[in-house]
């Protein structure tokens, strides 16, 4: 697009765009093949890069609190931190991976607020969660989609609290 706003150029076909922390890439959900993609905004690599297959729309969603099954088990807010790269917090439904930085505002855990109105502190217990929370360079990588953590009880607990179920079958453990 020209600086005056004329001659717009379509970069890709999709939706749910999100800028990378350094504003060099746009992440988006491809509308052609249910894939999470990224595209560089400048430079020689301006072709979309496919990151992973996704269930567009994520897992099961309800917009009516009264239709929510077991509201005491479903979180609606969590205590995240302001430096989170996309100003929101999400967790994958269809695979064993954290999407955003793992919240750790109160030691090795976070506070969850549930649909029934109560709040609870959830300490992280799996060493993989704590290692990723401490060592992952979120500023450089932006997300954690490349690292899977099968049978991580912290991750599965958060995924079940977010979506009500897992969108995959764990390879080991429960």
pLDDT in tens, 117-163: 999 999 999 999 998 888 776 666 656 677 889 999 999 999 999 98
pLDDT, tens digit, 9 for 90 and up, residues 19-56: 776 777 787 777 777 777 888 877 766 788 877 666 54
In this predicted structure, the answer to whether residue 8 has a pLDDT above a threshold of 80 is: no
b vs e for 21-48, b when ≥16 Cβ sit within 10 Å of the residue's Cβ? beeebbbbbbeeeebbbbbbeeeeeeeb
Separation of alpha carbons 174 and 99, rounded Å: 20
pTM above 0.85, yes or no: no
What are φ and ψ of residue 18, in 5° steps? -150, 130
Q: What is the pLDDT of residues 47-62, one digit of tens each?
A: 888 776 665 456 666 7
């Amino acid at each position: 697009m020209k600086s005056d706003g004329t001659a717009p150029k379509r970069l890709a076909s999709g939706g749910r765009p999100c800028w990378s922390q350094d504003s060099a890439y746009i992440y988006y959900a491809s509308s052609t093949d249910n894939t999470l993609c990224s595209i560089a905004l400048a430079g020689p690599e301006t072709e979309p890069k496919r990151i992973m297959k996704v269930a567009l729309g994520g897992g099961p969603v309800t917009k009516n609190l009264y239709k929510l099954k077991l509201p005491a088990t479903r979180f609606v807010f969590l205590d995240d931190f302001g430096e989170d790269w996309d100003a929101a917090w999400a967790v994958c439904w269809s695979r064993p991976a954290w999407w955003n930085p793992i919240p750790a505002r109160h030691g090795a855990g976070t506070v969850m607020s549930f649909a029934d109105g109560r709040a609870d502190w959830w300490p992280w217990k799996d060493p993989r969660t704590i290692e990723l929370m401490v060592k992952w360079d979120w500023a450089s990588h932006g997300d954690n989609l490349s690292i899977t953590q099968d049978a991580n009880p912290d991750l599965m607990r958060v995924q079940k609290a977010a979506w009500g179920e897992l969108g995959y079958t764990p390879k080991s453990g429960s």
